[in-house]
């Protein structure tokens, strides 16, 4: 059967399925004759990637809707019933996106239909709190309904294992195998009243919130300095209409920050993120309103968190008094230095301490960590791999986790969760700001000092969006071209090493990623996104001066993107 015939068959099957509600069928009927849209909705099933199940909300197998959520949950339930012992339970959280509460309840009712207890947060909560809750409640698994920083038309479904970490490939493959064989008429679902009366749907709230925030506050390094500087340090915070509002503010308050100014226009949940193009703290536009408020209150620091509050972006004043948006690599390097330096000052830096980062994250943080005697480990992209390392440290001993981070604004300190946490990152970057202000330094000053000490590390990310079936094929073609025809040199610099992670190198799982290291130690990396229809190209250089690094980076980006764009 051709792809076109399969798409048409799927489309007709949904229209004829007695289990599909009339509103969904009406949405599909309205597409009659729009072959391109029908193809995009049915040419494949949504797949688990770096962030689990994620897609545009709507009807179809390649969309986020109650049916794809129900099917995924039935597969998860079957996996839990086969693989994990009784009593089985799943913690569920959701963010501020369209249909997040509905998808969370649907997940709970399907689990209950399979005899599995669902612990559901009574209102929106952050992704890191869900990771914490799995561990705190000793649940068999966790689910969070979120599309992280994607545009408003998206939603998603992330699955967590009993350690509180996102599913790693071996476990994910088993869940996917179960999902693959599920048809809609096999989904076992009960009504809410039945699930509640049977004790299979339980609502959770403040008790878990308090335990989570206590664990976050325990990571604080210098509470006395924070309290001494609290009246002098001005912080602007924006939750970008997401789940971080209450948690971040409470965490900052618990460690002593008093001058926290929240961007009023972005304080409350808004599923359409109406004040921003994209609710992503990686993008400058997301900070437009925060920058306006910062100038009014003369803020030392601006903090922004994404809708599910697992990513944190920071803005600081530069030497000219202008606001400078730090990259994830820069914020991460500062937090590595602050955390390890604080531990060292107190005599509490462990001899077996480890900093964990991803293969596309700057080497600057690694160099800083090693300067304190810490070991550095690399993982594939996706915080699930950092969480996996943490669980291995707990099980095997011999290593103490200090800090984990990735260039895409994800950070974790502390051992209470297994996913990136913008709550603790917000607290740490604010604490670092207070600590250095007490010494007459801004975070920008600290960054420049680290550059002078360790080298001028500069990085850049380019991405190309390629939607639909044609886009998937384009991305596959780009990767195949670079894999089969690797460059011998770029801009006169010899390619010293080609790292093809699809071969399972460095003891890491196989993944479709290519990294090219040049003889001057600069590098670039090609990686299809696991959560969006994009191919991402990462670049990194290190020079003796900022000017040298900037010129080197510009030339590298131009040369590589010329070939990518064809």
Residues noted as catalytic: 148
Whose CA is closest to 509, among 498, 517, 520, 501?
501
Q: How far apart are alpha carbons 566 and 564 in whole angstroms?
A: 5
Q: How far apart are alpha carbons 534 and 471 in whole angstroms?
A: 8
Size (the chain), residues? 566
3-state secondary structure 215-261: HHHCCCCCHHHHHHHCCCCCEEEECCCCCHHHHHHHHHHHCCCCCEE
Q: How many CB atoms lie within 10 A of CB 83?
A: 13
> Are 378 and 407 in contact, with CB atoms under 8 Å apart?
no
Q: How far apart are alpha carbons 46 and 49 in whole angstroms?
A: 9
> Are 534 and 464 in contact, with CB atoms under 8 Å apart?
yes
Q: How many CB atoms lie within 10 A of CB 18?
A: 6
Distance set, CA 197 to CA 129, 194, 438 (Å): 26, 5, 56
3-state secondary structure 444-487: HHHHHHHHHHHCEEEEEEEEEECCHHHHHHHHHHHHHHHHHCCC
β-pairing, 375-379 vs 353-358, is parallel
Strand partners for 339 = none
């Amino acid at each position: 059967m051709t792809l076109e015939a399969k798409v048409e068959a799927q489309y007709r099957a949904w229209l004829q399925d007695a289990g599909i509600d009339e509103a969904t069928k009406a949405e599909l009927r309205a597409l009659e004759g729009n072959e391109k849209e029908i193809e995009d909705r049915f040419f494949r099933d949504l797949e688990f990637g770096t962030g689990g199940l994620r897609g545009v909300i709507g009807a179809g197998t390649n969309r986020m809707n109650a049916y794809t959520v129900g099917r995924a949950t039935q597969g998860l339930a079957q996996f839990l019933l086969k693989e994990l012992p009784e009593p089985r339970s799943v913690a569920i959280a959701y963010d501020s996106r369209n249909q997040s509460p509905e998808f969370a309840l649907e997940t709970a009712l399907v689990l209950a239909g399979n005899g599995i207890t669902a612990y559901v947060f009574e209102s929106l909560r952050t992704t890191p709190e869900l990771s914490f809750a799995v561990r705190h409640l000793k649940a068999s698994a966790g689910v969070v309904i979120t599309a992280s920083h994607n545009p408003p038309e998206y939603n998603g479904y992330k699955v967590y294992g009993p350690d509180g970490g996102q599913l790693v490939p071996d476990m994910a493959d088993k869940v996917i195998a179960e999902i693959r064989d599920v048809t809609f008429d096999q989904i076992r679902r009960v009504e809410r009243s039945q699930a509640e009366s049977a004790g299979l749907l339980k609502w959770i709230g403040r008790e878990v919130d308090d335990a989570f925030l206590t664990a976050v506050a325990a990571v604080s390094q210098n509470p006395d300095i924070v309290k001494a500087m609290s009246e002098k340090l001005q912080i602007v915070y924006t939750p970008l209409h997401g789940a971080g509002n209450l948690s971040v503010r409470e965490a900052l308050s618990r460690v002593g920050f008093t001058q926290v100014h929240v961007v009023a226009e972005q304080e409350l949940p808004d599923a359409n993120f109406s004040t921003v193009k994209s609710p992503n703290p990686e993008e400058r536009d997301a900070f437009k309103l925060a920058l306006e408020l910062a100038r009014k209150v003369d803020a030392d620091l601006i903090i922004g968190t994404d809708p599910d509050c697992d990513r944190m972006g920071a803005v600081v004043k530069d030497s000219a008094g202008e606001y400078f948006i730090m990259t994830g690599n820069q914020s991460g390097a500062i937090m590595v230095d602050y955390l390890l330096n604080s531990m060292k000052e107190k005599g509490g830096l462990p001899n077996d301490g480890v900093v964990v980062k991803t293969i596309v994250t700057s080497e600057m943080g690694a160099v800083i960590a090693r300067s304190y005697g810490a070991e550095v480990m690399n993982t594939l992209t996706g915080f699930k791999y950092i969480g996996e390392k943490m669980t291995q440290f707990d099980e095997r001993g011999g290593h103490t986790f200090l800090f984990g981070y990735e260039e895409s604004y994800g950070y974790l300190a502390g051992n209470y969760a297994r996913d990136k946490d913008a709550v603790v990152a917000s607290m740490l970057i604010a604490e670092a700001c207070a600590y250095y202000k007490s010494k007459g330094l801004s975070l920008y000053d600290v960054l420049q000092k680290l550059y002078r000490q360790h080298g001028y590390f500069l990085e850049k990310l380019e991405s190309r969006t390629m939607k639909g079936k044609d886009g998937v094929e384009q991305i596959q073609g780009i990767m195949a071209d670079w894999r089969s025809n690797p460059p011998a040199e770029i801009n006169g610099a010899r390619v010293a090493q080609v790292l093809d992670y699809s071969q399972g190198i460095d003891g890491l799982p196989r993944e479709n990623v290519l990294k090219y290291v040049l003889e001057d130690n600069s590098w670039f990396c090609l990686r299809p996104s696991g959560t969006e229809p994009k191919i991402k190209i990462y670049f990194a250089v290190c020079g003796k001066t900022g000017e040298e690094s900037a010129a080197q980076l510009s030339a590298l980006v131009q040369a590589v993107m010329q070939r990518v764009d064809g």
